[in-house]
Amino acid sequence: MTDTGSAPKPAKKGSAGRTRGRATGAPAITRRTLSEQTYEALKERILDQRLLPGTRLNIDALARDLSVSSSPIREALVRLDAEKLVISELYSGYSVAPHPTLQYLHDLLDHRIVIEGHCARVGAAKRSRVVINAMRQLSERMAAMPRIGTKYREYRRFVEADGRFHQLLVDSAENEVMSTTYSSLNAIILQSRLYLNRRGGSAPSDAVVHEHSRIFEAFAAGDGAEAEAAIRDHLEGGRIRLLSTLSEDGEPIETPT
């Protein structure tokens, strides 16, 4: 009887322990998943311009709209703030960030041409198998999705692969300062890629894939001068695409570079 009476207690304790494990384990995974989903949902609305630049973002209203608590909304807004897609002001809360100006995007491309050109020249000459193989994989992945559309969920994977390709190119020079500096610009570079013109058709990803192939071939050949020229031409091509795909009101749109 003593054994029988005491048996449920360890089981209950074990069950409680498992419950505590779920409380500290599974819900944490759920929270991360929910936070990621909330972040992607808000990002999609901003980039598809369902939330226009300057729109005030009410946390409670967003939580009701997405059927979540305020916590994942706040977590998502912190991430979007870091990506310069929203801005936060003391006592005013969050609002959708304004589009970058055309002059700012020109300045950004000028900066990238200097940094990426130097890193391409140095990195290609090293002929790193790791870099070349990773560059090949990214190029093939992007080539497999040649038409990317104008909605965030349609071009997200392409733009992410594009960003990794360029960071890999910079990292190939093995210059920690340049890699860190360039990485700190990722959010701003992402912002310049992601704005789009809803009136437009599919983005010109065929040109981007072709230009990336030229960069990859220069790296595979160990030709630093050609790699530098290829990345410069690629970024200048991005500038031309940007100018040719401005909306009528002069706002910049998404153009992978």
In a domain, 250, yes or no: no
Split into its structural domains, the chain has a count of 2
CA 96 to chain centre: 17
* pLDDT score of 201: 43
Last residue in a domain, options 63, 96, 129: 96
* Other beta carbons within 10 Å of 179: 17
Helix H or strand E segment including 30: helix 26-47
240 and 170 assigned to the same domain? yes
- Note down the domain range covering 54: 2-96
Same domain, 128 and 230: yes
Tell me, what's the pLDDT at 146? 58
**Average pLDDT of adjacent 10-residue blocks, the chain of 257 residues:** 45 42 40 84 89 94 95 95 90 89 88 97 98 96 76 80 95 97 81 52 71 97 98 92 60 47
**Is the residue at 9 inside a domain?**
yes
Q: Is residue 15 part of a domain?
A: yes
Q: Please indicate, yes or no, if residue 253 is contained in any of the structural domains.
A: no
In the block, tokens 């890193």 appear at 119
Q: What three-state secondary structure class fits 51? A: coil
Provide the pLDDT for residue 25.
41
Residue 83's CATH number: 1.10.10.10
Question: What does the pLDDT read at residue 193?
Answer: 67
Q: Do 53 and 161 belong to one domain?
A: no
Q: CATH no. for residue 214?
A: 1.20.120.530
Predicted pLDDT at 194? 60
The predicted structure's pLDDT at residue 200: 41
Residue 57 corresponds to which tokens in the numbers above? 């973002």
Q: Domain ends where: 96, 120, 148?
A: 96
Picking from 61, 96, 131, the residue at the C-terminal end of a domain is 96
- The crossing angle, in degrees rounded to 10, of helices 152-171 and 186-194 is 140
